[in-house]
Amino acid sequence: MIQNVKVRSEFEQKLDLEEREYRIENSTAEDILRIKEKVFFIDKDILVIEELAHPTEFNQILFFEKMQELILPHFTFYLLIDLTKVKEKKNDSAHRDRLKKTFKYYRRQILHNAIAIEGNILIKLAAKIVMRGNVNSLSFHSNFSEARKKIEQLK
């Protein structure tokens, strides 16, 4: 069962944040809400995370708070992570460890994780490191449409 599912409208999807690092000390309440809106369902069982251009620990915390709001225990879903807008890869082992723990927490609920990456080899490598052993089924795609198509094939 999905809790408080809100599928984003086309208008909401066009509300983009500035391309900068968001941290607790430089983010407004509106920024926080807009960051959380980057986690949403596009179907009753496909959860999307649209990563920001400059990922930070702060926005990751907000993403996973939103996931906790949306996902009930024992609910299974497909996860589509859109990394196509990411401009840089952080080389922060504490950040990677936090991501690993989060995905491990949802491991039994994620039916498949499709990751959209526009050919950035370093970001793909970082995603493989984070996801290795923390999801049951994983695929990489060059864009959002291909990632979604893969999930639809698996349904």
The answer for residues whose C-beta is within 8 angstroms of residue 15's C-beta and 6 or more apart is: 34, 37
pLDDT at res. 97: 82
pLDDT at res. 94: 73
* Spacing of C-alpha 138 from chain mean position: 14
Would you place residue 1 in the very low, low, confident or very high pLDDT band (cuts 50, 70, 90)? Answer: very low
Is a pLDDT exceeding 60 seen at residue 84? yes
What is the rounded radius of gyration, in angstroms, for the C-alpha atoms of the chain? 15
pTM: 0.84
Contact 75, 109 (CB under 8 A): yes
pLDDT higher for 132 or 39? 39
Pairing of strands 39-43, 46-50: antiparallel
Of the CA atoms within 13 Å of residue 148, those in its CB half-sphere come to: 12
The arrangement of secondary structure in 39-154, i.e. its CATH architecture, is Alpha-Beta Complex (3.90)
